[in-house]
Amino acid sequence: MSYFDLIHSRGHEGVFFCADPAAGLRGIIAIHDTTLGPALGGCRMKPYVSEANALTDALRLSRAMTYKSAMAGLNLGGGKSVIMLDSPAQKTPELLKAFAERICLLKGNYIGAGDVGSDTNDLRVLHQHCPYITGLAEEDGGLGDSSILTALGVFKGIQAAVKEKLDRDDLDGLKVAIQGAGKVGFHLVAHLLEAGCEVAMSDINPAALAQVKDAYPSVKICQPDELLALDVDIFSPNAIGGTITEEVAKTLKADIVAGGANNPLASEGVAAMLHQRKILYTPDFIINAGGVIMVACELEKKSMAEATRKTLDIYDTALQVFDYAKRRDLFPWDAAQHLAMIRIQETRATGYHYGRGSSASRPLVGAR
């Protein structure tokens, strides 16, 4: 399949390859859909095994951002950028400046934020050279760490899944396996323990696990394979994408899969396999939307309180998706995608399309 065939097959509006040999920049900016507003998505900076792998990552993640923003009720489209690094040392101020200048070439049709391999320090440098950056630290005029609200949204999604699958309004005594002890996983532990859950966790980073254990001694620390074999009520993927393969789905011992990782299913066929095994998969782009809600509120100069209020609505959104899935005999992932596309298509029907001009107008999320 050619690059153009790959791009067309996912419905993308465009992909921008950017380079600066002197700075060592090799980047890709993918814009999936700008019907609702400018394409917002994080700047992912990490090593990739190939350019094709980097492109596939940008395409999958940007499409998920379209659905995420649409289902969160935001006036934003879906985008994502990736920078191919040979090593962390390659992420220099010069490289970040070069990348910021490339983002500026898109004149606000893409807005960058934090992601894997980029933090608020990187975003500060990017923002110094380009206004189309959000997710800034509080001292830089932003709302701070978006992982806090991402974790809150995941927790509300878990509550909704428990209501749907187990017909319970509480989580007391439920067993939860968390894959990934990064920022989202760390904050999620606090919510689950406060709700009375028994929590087990794994990560490939021993230091991250040690931090969790120091803060929450009751958490059971496991090896990655051991975690997958546990008999639990809820399996929560909060690490990198693609960890739930067909092999994992065949043997997973859980009633619910709900986590903050983007694209945790290795393929769309895994969703069918989980459904056949009567495991409720809670779509990732529904419940991990707290972060994008927060950065959208930052763009609109709204408060952290407003961002928190919108994040709490993830509970009702998840229940809406489950109900729609049952009524239409769909997998929850497909149901969520359908609902997102309904909003986008209804917007197009009004004659409005942010990215292509419009015969109608409305308030927009704008760059800083």
Catalytic residues: 80
Q: Is 133 helix (H, G, I), strand (E, B) or coil?
A: strand
Report d(CA 152, CA 342) in Å as an integer.
26
Q: Residue 93 in contact with residue 121, Cβ under 8 Å?
A: no
Query: Distance between CA atoms of 30 and 18, rounded to whole angstroms?
Result: 11
Our CA angle for 284, 287, 291, nearest 5°, is: 100
Q: Using DSSP bridges, classify how beta strands 25-33 and 77-84 pair: parallel, antiparallel or unpaired.
A: antiparallel
Checking phi first, is residue 74 left (phi over 0); if not, alpha (psi -120 to 50) or beta?
beta
Measured distance between the N- and C-terminal CA atoms of the chain, rounded to whole angstroms? 39
Give the number of residues written for the chain. Answer: 368
Cβ-proximal residues to 153 (8 Å cutoff; 6+ apart), any chain: 260, 287, 288, 289, 290, 291, 293, 311, 314
Cβ-contact 269, 334 below 8 angstroms: no
CB 106 within 8 A of CB 80: no
Contact call for residues 289 and 72 (beta carbons, < 8 A): yes
d(CA 175, CA 173): 6
Label the pairing between strands 175-179 and 198-202: parallel
